[in-house]
Amino acid sequence: MATLRLGDIAPDFTAQTTEGEINFHEYLGDGWGVLFSHPADFTPVCTTELGAVAIYTDQFAERNVKVMAISVDGIESHHGWIKDINETQKTVVNYPIIADEDRKIADLYDMIHPKANATGTVRSVFVIAPDKTIKLMITYPASTGRNFDEIIRVIDSLQLTAYHKVATPANWNHGDEVVISPSISSEDAKGIFTKGFKEVKPYLRLTPQPNID
């Protein structure tokens, strides 16, 4: 199996989920997507994570992002676990969870790392653009829960930089200054970035975030 890399087309699949049979690319449609794996149902860290994603539903929706979770447990297990998630995390899981008992999708996305866990998936995150290319991959160990504020932050950066000729600097958050792409000359930048910019170095030019009025 070839290793997935940034810019690759996210492998398509059809799977049984807690919301019925779903084709992944059709589910994403013309929007963005997040596919994330968890090691096992009825485990403490995963319970908090899937609850957090449900709580962040509006934030994902505002960014035209659909989410889908996956583990190697079955549908019946997923449905039973969702009740616990809803109860303990004070939310309602309203996105599909894939049942990948044969591990075909986990293998397709290289979510099983035998030296970490021989049977379960690690905590993988894939952010997928509307053209179905992979824009972000993060892998966490089973013992470390994900920071979904960071995932939202990265999606903001990916969407901003996809449509504007900028990059986001270290520790950037929505609303902060951004970096003008080095491929843009300072002369051209004057016409493109109408809010102005400051030149710290010829290669380091900061401008207000362009998609905020």
- Which residues are tagged catalytic? 46
Tell me the CA distances in angstroms from 47 to 21, 27, 104, 182, 188, one per residue in order. 23, 24, 23, 43, 50
What span, in angstroms and rounded, lies between the C-alpha atoms of 193 and 146? 35
Q: What is the helix (H) or strand (E) element at residue 67, kind and residue range?
A: strand 65-71
User: Please, are residues 15 and 100 in contact by the beta-carbon 8 Å criterion?
Assistant: yes
Question: What counts of helices (H) and strands (E) characterise the chain?
Answer: 7, 11
Beta-carbon contacts of residue 84 (< 8 Å; ≥ 6 apart): 42, 47
User: Please, are residues 22 and 15 in contact by the beta-carbon 8 Å criterion?
Assistant: yes
Give the number of other CB atoms < 10 A from CB of residue 94. Answer: 12
